[in-house]
Amino acid sequence: MSKETFEEALAQLEEVVKRLEDESVGLEEALKLFERGVKLARRCRTQLAGVERRVEQLLAEAAEGEEGATAPFAPEEG
Amino acid sequence: MSARVFGVGELVREVNAALAGTFGEVWVKGELSGVKVAGSGHRYFQLKDAEGTLSCAMWAARADRLRYKLADGVAVLLRGTLEVYPQRGSLQIIVIEVRPEGKGELQLAFEQMKAKLEAEGLFAAARKRPLPALPQRLGLVTSSSGAAVRDVLKVLSRWEHLSVLLYPVRVQGKGAEGEIARAVRYLGRYGEVDVVLLVRGGGSLEDLWAFNEEIVARAIATCSVPVISGVGHETDFTIADFVADVRAATPTQAAEIVVQRLEEQERRVEDGAAAVHLSIERRLERARLRLHALEGSRGLARLEQRLKELNLRLPRTESLRQRLRSLVGSRHRRLEGASAALFHWPVRFGAPRRRELVTVRVAVAVERLRSLVRRRGLELGARERALEALSPWRVLERGYSITAREGTADTPIKDAAGVAPGERVVTTLARGALYSLVTGRAGEQGELFETRGSSAEQTNEAGRTPKPEPRGPGRQGREP
């Protein structure tokens, strides 16, 4: 899932909330919106947790189309 | 009068020697004007004040070492030697050193760079790129040792889902600006990062100088992802800060911006999710309230009471139904066996027409039996069990016996008074029977009331005195 999708999903979620808070929206539509809101929130949460925790330092620069050499990094105490 | 006549060049030399002897090195203050850079790289300019003007020359080797740019209008304090330029015969100062007046040269250099890049539009708000919605992959440009990297990583550790790629660089000293610029460009191009953090801990203007260099500013401006700068302390501003898409006051602050963005996004998601749930709950609550209002009417209250009763009864009804079903089932099987036998009867003995008639009759009878069974199912079950418990055979097993006159075995004797001595009786036991001749009688409770003394001729082989008959078997009166 791309970054845009997170932003889109979040914007849609907030739109769903706005619609749900509109008193003129009927119960049946509200239930549909609810279901959709729950799905969107789940998608956003997945995205928020989408990157694994990692701290590395670059050892050598990459050439075009290659990956640079890296190693785990932890700062010295002090 | 004989005057000394000089050659022009000779006189200039003499004058220069006198100037050197008299003045040596001089400090002069004034304002720069008409600054020109010759093809050779030497700088030529005028030093002016309200009252005069002096021509100045600064050789390229010296001028190139200046951090700032010699520019018109700059008030300076300069050091140099006076000399007359022989070819033109004009007085000039050969400049050794130029110091900006009233501020440090670094300050001046900073102001000049700032003015220059600002004029180019590098600091324009319109150029600033917004931070990505989810800055989860970070490129970090700083020294791998020192407080800055520690501070940054400490703050970043608050967010679980975040990766950091550190490009270690020197952050001060000669050549640091080149490393920094290269790192920023590299991470933007190859680092696969969402954002670059360019940070350095506090220090003097001199220490932070690399971040004021043009090469760094250009690298930031052309980086392919947004750059957050956090250099020095709150009060320190560097050119890098002005060019960066987001300026943080300190390295810690730079990391905070990232983490807070992620936390804010999470909060938005959770707020949204909560609002979705809340609004549905509110709607349901409203529906409940409406229902309560309706429940106020008596008809509905009665209906509700009735529903409650039915609900209570439901489990009992269910188990009853099940019992009934199993009872009816077993009787069905029996009835079907019986009706099957009936069906066969006309086949063997009757004509086809007759068979049909019989079939119909049998079917009707079976159906009647079935409905009877259905109605009486439970009752029958209970009675069947009672019957079984009361069966005389079960009673006989417990040691009781049934006595009757010979020939009327299906009428048990219940009263001794009804039997005369000399009569023959049959006593039925659980296994087998005894034939006896009555020799005497006793009253109720075994009390003798007649011919007590007469000799008993009972042929009771078990040697047991017959016990009074229990009520049960006597009442049954049926053939066991």
**pLDDT score of B467 more than 60:** no
User: Which of B17-21, B382-386, B412-416, B463-467 shows the lowest per-residue confidence on average (mean pLDDT)?
Assistant: B463-467
pLDDT class of B195 with cuts at 50, 70, 90:
very high
Please, what is the Cα angle at B308 between B304 and B313, to 5 degrees?
145
pLDDT class of B399 with cuts at 50, 70, 90:
confident
pLDDT class of B412 with cuts at 50, 70, 90:
confident
- Residue B480 has what pLDDT? 44
Distance, CA of B411 to CA of B409 (rounded, Å): 5
Distance, CA of B166 to CA of B197 (rounded, Å): 9
* Domains of chain A, residue spans: 3-48
- A24-56 per-position pLDDT tens digit: 888 788 889 999 999 999 999 999 998 989 999
Is there a single domain that holds both residue B439 and residue B380? no
- Across the interface, whether the CB atoms of B134 and A6 are under 8 A apart is answered yes
3-state secondary structure of B119: helix
Q: Which of B354, B388, B422 is the last residue of a domain?
A: B388
Is there a single domain that holds both residue B329 and residue B377? yes
Strand partners for B195:
B138
Is there a single domain that holds both residue B470 and residue B442? yes
Distance, CA of B442 to CA of B172 (rounded, Å): 134
Residue A3: which of B132, B153, B287 has the nearest Cβ? Answer: B132
User: Has residue B80 been placed in a domain?
Assistant: yes
- Across the interface, whether the CB atoms of A50 and B194 are under 8 A apart is answered no
- Residue B226 has what pLDDT? 97
Distance, CA of B379 to CA of B45 (rounded, Å): 130
User: Has residue B45 been placed in a domain?
Assistant: yes
Is there a single domain that holds both residue B46 and residue B74? yes
Percent of chain B with pLDDT over 70: 70
- Residue B479 has what pLDDT? 44
Is there a single domain that holds both residue B246 and residue B147? yes
Is there a single domain that holds both residue B90 and residue B136? no
Whether pTM exceeds 0.80:
no
Mean pLDDT over B410-432 rounds to 82
User: Has residue B278 been placed in a domain?
Assistant: no
Number of domains chain B is built from = 4
Confirm if B242 and B111 have CB atoms less than 8 A apart. Answer: no
3-state secondary structure of A60: strand
Percent of chain B with pLDDT over 90: 48
- Smallest CA–CA distance from B193 into chain A, residue: A51
Q: Which of B388, B415, B449 is the last residue of a domain?
A: B388
B87 CB near a chain A CB, below 8 Å?
no
Instruction: Give the CB-side neighbour count of residue B164, counting CA atoms within 13 A.
Output: 30
User: Has residue B93 been placed in a domain?
Assistant: yes
**pLDDT score of A62 more than 90:** no
Is there a single domain that holds both residue B379 and residue B404? no
- Residue B454 has what pLDDT? 42
List of chain B residues whose C-beta atoms are within 8 Å of the C-beta of residue A51? 136-137, 161-163
**pLDDT score of B376 more than 80:** no
Is there a single domain that holds both residue B93 and residue B177? no
User: Has residue B96 been placed in a domain?
Assistant: yes
Is there a single domain that holds both residue B402 and residue B369? no
- Residue B429 has what pLDDT? 82
Mutate to test the interface with A, among B143, B269, B285, B288 (most CBs of A within 10 A): B269
Greater model confidence, B251 or B308: B251
Is there a single domain that holds both residue B415 and residue B366? no
Is there a single domain that holds both residue B454 and residue B428? yes
Structure token pair of residue B119: 């004029």
Q: What is the ipTM of this complex?
A: 0.89
Is there a single domain that holds both residue B227 and residue B148? yes
pLDDT class of B460 with cuts at 50, 70, 90:
very low
User: Has residue B340 been placed in a domain?
Assistant: yes
- B131-171 per-position pLDDT tens digit: 999 999 999 999 999 899 999 999 999 999 999 999 999 99
Mean pLDDT over A46-73 rounds to 84
Residue B283: which of A7, A30, A45 has the nearest Cβ? Answer: A30
- Residue B198 has what pLDDT? 97
- Residue A30 has what pLDDT? 87
Distance, CA of B171 to CA of B149 (rounded, Å): 12
User: Has residue B29 been placed in a domain?
Assistant: yes
User: Has residue B470 been placed in a domain?
Assistant: yes
Structural domain boundaries enclosing B86: 8-102
Mean pLDDT over B19-47 rounds to 94
- B260-298 per-position pLDDT tens digit: 999 999 999 999 999 998 888 888 777 777 776 765 665
- Across the interface, whether the CB atoms of A13 and B269 are under 8 A apart is answered yes
Q: What is the CATH number of the domain that holds B13?
A: 2.40.50.140
Distance, CA of A52 to CA of A33 (rounded, Å): 32
Greater model confidence, B173 or B354: B173
Q: Are strands B137-142 and B195-200 parallel, antiparallel or unpaired?
A: parallel
Distance from CA of B261 to the nearest CA of A (A): 11
Greater model confidence, B369 or B77: B77
pLDDT class of B453 with cuts at 50, 70, 90:
very low
Q: Which residue has the tokens 């309200």?
A: B50
- B312-366 per-position pLDDT tens digit: 655 555 555 566 566 656 655 665 555 555 444 444 344 444 455 555 555 555 5
Q: Which residues contact B355 (CB under 8 A, 6 or more apart)?
A: B346, B347
Distance, CA of B111 to CA of B212 (rounded, Å): 10
